[in-house]
Each structure stands twice: as structure tokens, then as C-alpha cells.
Amino acid sequence: MSFTRFICFLRFLCGFGLLMCSSLVCAKDTLKWLEMDAPPYHIQAGKLHNQGIVDQVSQLIQQHMPNYLHSERVMNLPRVKEVMRIGQEVCHASLYKTPKREAVAYFSQVPSTMFPPVGLTIKEESFELFDENPMVSFSEVLIRQDLMGGISKGRSYGKSLDKILKQYERTARLERRSGDDIYQGLFNMLLYGRVDYILGSPLESGFAQRNLAAENKVFNIMLKERNSYDFGFVACSKTPWGKRIIEEINAVLIKIRPTPQYKSYFTKWLDDLSKGSFEKAYNEQFLVYGINKAS
């Protein structure tokens, strides 16, 4: 073969390779991310669309996995668990670990999200009613006859708080609100002065205030009976594919979590009173949890 023919042959191979890589043969694998409609974690509509905490965590992970195409699909939590159970190759950026879920999904060794515990949300001017204390006893608050509280009827606030609510269900001064908007309606009651405090997460109050563009400043007070932070983890279906993907995601999380950008996804929703304790837990708990196993 002459040199000229050899060069033409190489050009042919290169052109053929490019043609094949434009087909399915060389296409990138698609990583399917499941999402929910759960502000402020996932925000599916409105001016804050895709700016939820888990939305942005997922987007940042995707940016650091350029070898994959990424797609999103919205479904409720029971459907998320079912899709993983039947072995579809999907991931979710933040799920709590439970034995039942670990039977159908691989979880990242390090957490992807950290959420403050449920506490009391109050208006700024009401802070003096609680002696300007950033942490109080829920049992003691419930027996006070000078305070009116608000909770969502039928919502679980965790075992410890549910037990206390049941204990004082006949004596506590509480408005029990029904409705699909589990937190937003209570937040409106707080702003209008119908209640002195409501039960919920600082992240929920941060979203509600921003969503309503409310002028009233609110604070969040932690409860002695429920003061531990919760971690969420990336979860992928329990298949060989899922195991491989989770190993890659672990490496990405270790790289991106210490950055100011990552932490801002959480702190932008928090009031000033909550930020201090959150940042301390972020540095001392979140960033070190599982790090030895993962590395």
C-alpha cells in the first residue's frame, strides 16, 4: 500500500469512527435521576423552580460526572422505592437510610444532605416570650397557657415529639390544621398572629418566607427533645450498575461537599439564629461522617 493510500485509509477509519460514535454504539450512558415535589428540597414549579436543596445537589453531582448523559423524572416517594425494588437503573440524590431501603438500593458512604431537626418557628417579636433562648423544652412549651401553637393534623414530627404531643393532646393550646399545604398554611397563621409558634423545620420556614416574599422576620428555636440533625444519602438501584455508579458518586461527593457553594444550598434557606448551629454540625458531623469508609 502506498503512503497516499495509507493516509486515505486512516482518514476513512477516522471518519467511520466519528460516524459510529454519533450512533448508539458510542453514546454516553444515561444516568436517570428521580425527583419529587417536596419544597424546599425539590421545587417543581414557580419562580424558584429547580432551586431546591436536593435539586441543586443533584445538578452539581451531574456537572462532575460529564461522562454520562443525565435525565430527571418526577414521582412520589412510594413510586421511587418501587422503581428501585424492581431493578430499574435509577438514582435519587437524597434519601434517608433504612433497612428496607438498603434492601433495594445502594447508598453513598458519605451523606449528600443534612437537615436541621424539627423545631419551633416564631416571629422575631415573639422571641422574648421564650427568654430569647435558642433551645427550649417542647414539654414545657406545651403546658404554657400564654402560648398558642400550630401543628399539621396527621403529620408525624418524629417519635419523640409525637409521643409528647399525644401526652399533652388534651391540655396543650394547639391549633391542628388540616390541608394539603402541610406547612405553608401554618406559616400564614403565624404571620397573621393566630398562633405564637408552629412546628416545622427551619428549611420549611425559609422556603415559606421566600415563597411568600413575607416581610416579617422569623426565627427557629431548637427543641431539647429533638435536636439531632438528619442525613440524606444518594441512593441507586441495587444492581451491578448501581454499585458502580455509587462508587463514582462517593468520589464526587468527597470532592464537592467542602466547598462554600455546596454549603450555600442549605444555608440560604436558614434564618440567622439557625445558621450558627447548622454550620457547626455541618463541619463537625456532616463532612466527617463515613469519610474513612469512603476513602
* CA 136 and chain centroid, separation: 25
Q: Decide if 160 contacts 225 (C-beta within 8 A).
A: yes
Residues 60, 149, single domain; the answer is: no
Give the total number of structural domains in the chain. Answer: 2
Range of the domain at 245: 29-115+229-294
> Mean pLDDT across the stretch 251-272?
95
Q: Which residue among 208, 223, 238 closes a domain? A: 223
Q: How confident is the model at residue 291 (pLDDT cuts 50, 70, 90)?
A: confident
Buried b (16+ CB within 10 A) or exposed e, 242-271: beebbebbbebbbebbeeeebbebbeebbb
Q: Which residue among 207, 223, 239 closes a domain? A: 223
Q: Count H helices and E strands in the chain, helices first.
A: 12, 12
Position 16 in a domain: no
pLDDT at 253 over 90: yes
Q: Decide if 73 contacts 34 (C-beta within 8 A).
A: yes
pLDDT at 137 over 90: yes
**pLDDT: which is higher, 256 or 46:** 256
Residue by residue, DSSP assigns 14-69 as HHHHHHHHTSGGGPPEEEEEEE--BTTTB--SSTTTT-SHHHHHHHHHHHT-TTEE
Selection from 40, 110, 44, 106 nearest residue 73 by Cα: 44
Q: Which three cell numbers stand for residue 266?
A: 442549605
Residues 50, 180, single domain; the answer is: no
pLDDT at 18 over 50: no
Instruction: Please list the alpha-helical segments (H only) found in 64-174.
Output: 77-85, 99-102, 138-142, 159-167
% of residues, the chain, pLDDT over 70: 89
Query: Rounded to two decimals, what is the model's pTM?
Result: 0.79
Q: Which residue among 223, 252, 270 closes a domain? A: 223
The terminus-to-terminus CA distance of the chain in angstroms comes to 53
DSSP character at residue 115: E
pLDDT at 26 over 90: no
Instruction: Please list the alpha-helical segments (H only) found in 91-194.
Output: 99-102, 138-142, 159-167, 184-191
